[in-house]
Amino acid sequence: MKEKKSISKTLLTILFTALALFWVYPVVMILINSFKLDKFISTNTVFKLPGAESFAGFSNYVEALTSQGFARAFGYSLVITVTSVVLILICTSMCAWYITRVNNLLSKVCYGLFVFSMVVPFQMLMFTLSSTADRLNLDTPFNICVIYLGFGAGLAVFMFTGFMKSIPLEIEEAAMIDGCNPIQTFVLVILPILKPTFISVCILETMWLWNDYLLPYLVLDRKKYTTIPILIQYFKGSYGHVAMGPMMACIMMTVLPIIIIYICLQKYIIDGVLAGAVKG
Amino acid sequence: MERAIKKYWPVFVLPTLAAFCIGFLYPFCQGLYLSFCKFTTIKKASFVGFKNYIYALTDGAFWHSFGFTTAFTICSTLLINVLAFSIALALTSKIKGSNIFRTVFFMPNLIGGIVLGYIWQILLNCVLSLLEQPLLALDATLGFWGLIILLCWQQIGYMMIIYIAGLQSIPKDYLEAAKIDGATNLQILFRVKIPNVMPSITICTFLTITNGFKLFDQNLALTGGEPAHASEMMALNIYNTFYSRTGPQWKGYGQAKSVIFCLMVIMISLVQLKATKSREVQQ
């Protein structure tokens, strides 16, 4: 009986190893091909390892970084993601505290609207949002974070309020009696307690912002600014000869940082995603 | 204390609320109004009543995309949930290296839809040409299954994580008691494990339904709606009505379509809310 069980477990492990290999294969394939010379990437050779004559070294990466504008796109993506996430975390956590602690019409209306905004698909407001952003000059990577704060507020406020309801009121009252004003109470007392939720919200919003395509594509001034998803879509959309080598290098440079960060912060990322899923 | 905080509302609420008005509320209301207008830019809008809606509801391509989206949502929801649940079951039964497997399966989730779509387009087109089949962009059925494979690859890991959390929260006593009473493994699965992870199943089902229904990036990157809009899903159909047509009437049609789309998504969410609520009462 015991032997039979261990055999089935070994079989299962083998099956899962095969499945895991299948899971990473697409990324590995891109990695292999990013080291090939351009003319050796075709439908027949795509599954082969680079040989002596087709090996390109890092030339594809160099080209992607210099002539294809990857470095700039990476910079813009980074600026947008960092500013927006910081702004979202600060503003929505404060807003969420007000909503949980004050019981008036303003907080009820706000909460209802925020929850409603989580449901509405982006297509509903894509045209009007991009023209609003145009008119208010919010179409650069440095101030698009205002749009993101508005559009991403729903999920963040929802998650923060969900957690804040479980913080006992007495702690804050004690701080207030000791002479803190609300801002001090929030910064010195609430923020430290909120740390786990902060991490969760931070991860969820970062994942969304870094990969977002349509919003920056429609809102940003297209001739001046491209983010990574936009750059990759351009590659594909351009007619005629597509430089496959540099493009694969671009994909690799997009995917690798994500994978490295994921491996380092695995526990936090999985917990954060789980918290978001269960609440949402 | 409440009064003290109340005085500080410009500090706490105003920044978020102002951004929310710019980024959501104002465009939303304007979009609602414009769905009754004929317009090319917002300033040049003239009221036309329900004409846009009548067009949207009689547009064959829109209905085709609705059918495609519905079929896609049903297929992907079933496949993703069954596979994710089976993987979660296997990984909670203490096989070797289950942590590594968990890490690997979750990984595609972090990569964006556009990049994923592109990676799979290259891979699938190469496989298809080796099999001497038409490329993805030439055959809508292949495009459909390509999208399903892509979405499975991306989302099975996510759902698996939720199912694993659900399975791990079942008290060990239940499983032991069932075993002592002589239940077979299958009986344990259907009588103990599945009823106890019902909340996870509800969450995952709705997540996959809404994700499938609202899918845009992957659709754009993998098939781009080719051939001739046959593999176009609703979100992409709306996008194309807006931006790849010239003529004064199209933007209004697109806006009306997006309001209809939005209503459908809200309906799904309401059903979800009801399903979650009724389960809470049972417990």
Judge if A169 and A232 occupy the same domain: yes
Q: Is the pLDDT of residue B3 over 80?
A: no
Judge if A18 and A141 occupy the same domain: no
Of B27, B110, B119, the CB nearest to A129: B27
The whole-number pLDDT of residue A233 equals 82
The whole-number pLDDT of residue B148 equals 92
Q: How close does chain B come to A98, measured CA to CA in Å?
A: 6
Residue A76 forms part of a structural domain:
yes
Q: Is the pLDDT of residue A257 over 50?
A: yes
The chain-wide mean pLDDT, for chain B, equals 85
Overall average pLDDT of the A171-179 stretch: 86
Judge if A57 and A149 occupy the same domain: no
Overall average pLDDT of the B21-27 stretch: 90
pLDDT > 70: what percent of chain A? Answer: 88
| Cβ atoms of B208 and B107 closer than 8 Å | no
**Coil vs helix vs strand at B47:** strand
Q: Which residues pair with B38 in a beta bridge?
A: B46
Determine the angle formed by the axes of helices B234-243 and A126-135, rounding to 10 degrees: 50
Judge if A100 and A174 occupy the same domain: yes
Q: Is the pLDDT of residue A137 over 80?
A: yes
Q: Is the pLDDT of residue A45 over 80?
A: no
Backbone angles phi, psi at A49, to 5 degrees: -75, 150
Q: Does A132 touch chain B (CB under 8 A)?
A: yes
How big, in percent rounded to 5, are the helix, strand and coil portions of chain A? 75, 0, 25
pLDDT digits (tens, 9 = 90+) for B239-254: 988 888 777 778 888 8
Residue A273 forms part of a structural domain:
no
The whole-number pLDDT of residue A89 equals 93
Judge if A100 and A82 occupy the same domain: yes
Q: How close does chain B come to A255, measured CA to CA in Å?
A: 7
Better-scored residue on pLDDT, A2 or B251 = B251
Q: Could you tell me the domains of chain B?
A: 53-282 (1.10.3720.10)
The whole-number pLDDT of residue B86 equals 92
Judge if A207 and A143 occupy the same domain: yes
Overall average pLDDT of the A111-128 stretch: 89
Q: How close does chain B come to A188, measured CA to CA in Å?
A: 15
Show which of A10, A43, A64 is a domain's final residue.
A64
Residue A277 forms part of a structural domain:
no
- CA dihedral over A137, A139, A140, A142, signed as positive or negative: positive
Residue A205 forms part of a structural domain:
yes
The answer to whether A46 contacts B262, with C-beta atoms less than 8 Å apart, is: no
Q: Is the pLDDT of residue B82 over 90?
A: yes
Q: Is the pLDDT of residue B74 over 90?
A: yes
Report the alpha-carbon distance of residue B153 to residue A20 in Å, rounded: 11
The answer to whether A123 contacts B261, with C-beta atoms less than 8 Å apart, is: yes
Element (H, E) at A174: helix A169-177
Better-scored residue on pLDDT, B4 or B214 = B214
The whole-number pLDDT of residue A46 equals 67
The whole-number pLDDT of residue B261 equals 92
Judge if A130 and A60 occupy the same domain: no
Q: Is the pLDDT of residue B13 over 60?
A: yes
The answer to whether A119 contacts B266, with C-beta atoms less than 8 Å apart, is: yes
Residue A175 forms part of a structural domain:
yes
Q: Is the pLDDT of residue A2 over 60?
A: no
Q: What is the total count of domains within chain A?
A: 2
Judge if A118 and A30 occupy the same domain: no
Tokens of A89: 């975390």
* A 12-41 residues inside an 8 A Cβ radius of B: 12-13, 16-17, 19-20, 23-24, 26-27, 29-30
Overall average pLDDT of the B166-176 stretch: 88
The whole-number pLDDT of residue B223 equals 83
| Cβ atoms of A219 and A62 closer than 8 Å | no
Cβ-based burial of B65 (10 A; exposed 0-12, middle 13-18, buried ≥19): buried
Q: Does B273 touch chain A (CB under 8 A)?
A: no
**Coil vs helix vs strand at B29:** helix
The whole-number pLDDT of residue B283 equals 40
Q: Is the pLDDT of residue B281 over 70?
A: no
Q: Is the pLDDT of residue B40 over 90?
A: no
Overall average pLDDT of the B122-135 stretch: 80
Residue A96 is part of a domain; what is its CATH number? Answer: 1.10.3720.10
Confidence of residue B159 (pLDDT cuts 50, 70, 90): very high
Element (H, E) at B39: strand B37-39
Q: What is the span of the domain harbouring residue A41?
A: 2-64
Confidence of residue A102 (pLDDT cuts 50, 70, 90): confident
Any idea how long chain A is? 280
Residue A269 forms part of a structural domain:
no
Residues of B in contact with A131 (CB under 8 A): 41-42
| Cβ atoms of A276 and A155 closer than 8 Å | yes
Judge if A23 and A97 occupy the same domain: no
The answer to whether B19 contacts A150, with C-beta atoms less than 8 Å apart, is: yes
Q: Please compute Rg for chain A using Cα positions.
A: 24
Q: Which residues contact B68 (CB under 8 A, 6 or more apart)?
A: B144, B230, B231, B232, B233
Q: Does A258 touch chain B (CB under 8 A)?
A: yes
Q: How close does chain B come to A216, measured CA to CA in Å?
A: 13
Report the alpha-carbon distance of residue B233 to residue A265 in Å, rounded: 35
| Cβ atoms of B85 and B163 closer than 8 Å | yes
Q: Is the pLDDT of residue B75 over 50?
A: yes
Judge if A54 and A86 occupy the same domain: no
The chain-wide mean pLDDT, for chain A, equals 84
Whole-model pTM above 0.90?
A: no
Q: Is the pLDDT of residue B81 over 90?
A: yes
Q: How close does chain A come to B148, measured CA to CA in Å?
A: 15
Of B1, B216, B265, the CB nearest to A214: B216
Residues of A in contact with B24 (CB under 8 A): 113, 117, 120, 125, 150-151, 153-154
Residues of B in contact with A12 (CB under 8 A): 90, 93, 95
The answer to whether B12 contacts A94, with C-beta atoms less than 8 Å apart, is: yes
Confidence of residue B151 (pLDDT cuts 50, 70, 90): very high
Judge if A212 and A199 occupy the same domain: yes
* A 141-180 residues inside an 8 A Cβ radius of B: 146-151, 153-154, 157, 169, 172-173, 176
pLDDT digits (tens, 9 = 90+) for A66-94: 777 788 888 999 999 999 999 999 999 99
Q: Does A115 touch chain B (CB under 8 A)?
A: no
Confidence of residue A52 (pLDDT cuts 50, 70, 90): low
Judge if A154 and A212 occupy the same domain: yes
Distances (CA, A) of B34 to A37, B57, B249: 51, 17, 12
Report the alpha-carbon distance of residue B107 to residue A238 in Å, rounded: 29
Overall average pLDDT of the A100-109 stretch: 88
Report the alpha-carbon distance of residue B123 to residue A41 in Å, rounded: 12
Q: Is the pLDDT of residue B134 over 80?
A: no
Neighbours of B37 (CB within 10 A): 19
Q: Does B86 touch chain A (CB under 8 A)?
A: no
The whole-number pLDDT of residue A90 equals 92
Overall average pLDDT of the A226-243 stretch: 74
